[in-house]
A and B are shown apart, each in its own frame.
Chain A
Amino acid sequence: MDNDNHSGQETHVWKVSFVRRLVNSAATVGMACAAILVVTPLVVIFGYLVYRGIGALNWSFLTQIPKPVGEPGGGMANGIVGSALILLIASAIGIPLGIGSGVFLAEYGRNRYGDVVRFTADVLNGVPSIVIGSTVWGLLVVTQKHFSLFSGAVALGIMMVPTVTRSTEEILLMVPQSVREAAIGLGISQWRVTVSVVLRTATAGILTGIMLAFARVAGETAPLMFTAFGNQFWSVSPNQPAAALPLQIFYYATSAFEELNRQAWAGALVLIVLIVGTIGIVRLVASRGLMKGAA
């Protein structure tokens, strides 16, 4: 406290009671513990993957396709490329649909029809992935009479929709009404206001939603079993069965060969790194292109 008091009065010193200080430090410690607890599983998982997987991870693992069972070596190059293609097509299906319905819900969805769409999205979000996989199997694989990369992408794309829809809606509702009014007041047409002002203002938040959806489906295995199916060979055709990292991890992990078990760990490590890497790159590119100051 300042003793050099100009008015000559005694300086009043606030006394903080012992109990209050105790509660304060307890709360601080508690929250620090909670924060550590949240980070711990991620660190443990990543550390364990590195520990188990780094041994089988080498250049040929990333560049070669699987060797016939029993032969040493070989890799998951086809799975990496297959997963990338499936996720690319899934995103091309899921993101526009999700953003479109999110915009609809936020800008025109304050009515019964909007409630129906909202409810449907929430239910779809809760449908187990294996059910979505088997439905796509029944609709696409059975009718086309073969497994395919494309059907896998459709299954994952459908799974992305509800997450993107709801997060887009939430973010758009956070764009202040005053920003919309500013645009309307300039004589900008409704759809231009939505696309060029509202969506643009919300880009950072919408990207977060997309990344959540992407990360969620990138590791999905069950829906791909009935659709993309897996492939021991190179194939980039959307009409052929395709290899995918999660599938290969699953098959290798349940295999009787130790070599394949080790490769499963390496595959899991690669999958995590690729997902985190993709999200990191998208964030970096987005933050370069966007102005700071977005809500």
Chain B
Amino acid sequence: MGVPIQAKGLNAWFGKTQALYDIALDIPPNHATAIIGPSGCGKSTFVRCLNRMHETVPNARVQGHVQIGAVDVYGNGTPAVELRRRVGMVFQKPNPFPTMSIYDNVAAGLRLNGIRNRHKIEESVERSLRQAALWDEVKDSLKSKSGASLSGGQQQRLCIARALAVEPEVMLMDEPASALDPISTSKVEDLIYQLKEHYTIVIVTHNMQQAARVAEFTGFFLMGRLVEFDKTEKIFTTPRDKRTEDYITGRFG
């Protein structure tokens, strides 16, 4: 089941450059929330702060408070590695492990976290691939084909399956469809639609139609600040802020 995400007073830096300013945002559970905004506005940095990927970049720094379910993300003694198991992430460019088979790709999260039970792994691989709507396309070549041999759209669904296999509570998606063709994109969007029954989804997107299609809530970021956060409908029809309106009507960005 999905859990809510709460950010309060969140600031982030790359070296001396501040990328996020005092972000406060409540993301509801079991819904999809879109993060939109022009390039370089801090969308990606924001989601990468939620699973502590931001701090893996040299000289990057975070300050503030994030709560995911019962977990204080930046609390003393919260291990980043444990946290990331509960917060799945899908990246902009499909990044399957190139030398692993389709099966091994999906099983990687479980195996490399020490799970040895063959039966359990097998079950979880099938369930995840079905959830990611990839099972029928790959079930005959699970162990004979490498993850890198799939098409771009299939690779991205494989990456989603890989993230689902560790049974996270939250799914962060950083422009998951921006490198895909329209058909693959619509498959990934269908998937997001189904996944939010079980997960809390945060999706960064450049594509405002996409935000409107998949997300109930939308946050608009501009120059490292959260300008507006509301129901998607509201953002796209009657935004409160002039800058939001300018952006969604295509006046800049």
Contacts and interface: CB of A to CB of B under 8 A. Distances in A.
Interface of A: 110, 176, 178-179, 181-190, 192-193, 196-197, 200-201, 203-204, 290-295
A293 B149 contact: yes
B109 A179 contact: no
B183 interface: no
Interface string B146-168: 11110000000001001100100
Contacts, number: 91
Interface string B63-74: 000000000000
Q: Secondary structure at chain A's binding surface: helix, strand, loop or mixed?
A: helix
A294 B84 contact: no
A203 B97 CA distance: 13
B98 A183 contact: no
Interface of B: 51, 53, 56, 58, 81-86, 88-89, 91, 93, 95-101, 108-109, 112-113, 146-149, 159, 162-163, 166
A292 B144 CA distance: 10
B126 to A, nearest CB: 18
A176 B92 CA distance: 14
Contacts of B96: 182
Contact of B99 (A181, A192, A293): A293
A294 B148 CA distance: 8
Contact of B97 (A197, A204, A290): A197
B112 A183 contact: yes
Contact of A189 (B81, B91, B99, B149): B81
B163 A293 contact: no
24 contacts: A178-B95, A181-B56, A181-B95, A183-B112, A185-B53, A185-B84, A186-B85, A186-B163, A187-B83, A187-B84, A187-B85, A187-B86, A188-B81, A188-B109, A188-B112, A190-B81, A196-B108, A200-B100, A201-B98, A291-B101, A291-B148, A293-B148, A294-B99, A295-B98
A178 B81 CA distance: 17
B98 A187 contact: no
A283 to B, nearest CB: 16
A190 B159 CA distance: 20
Contacts of A203: 99
A178 B91 contact: yes
Contacts of A183: 97, 108, 112
Contacts of B89: 185
Nearest to A201: B99
Given A192-B112, A291-B98, A293-B98, A184 B84 contact: yes
A190 B166 CA distance: 17
Contacts of B146: 291-293
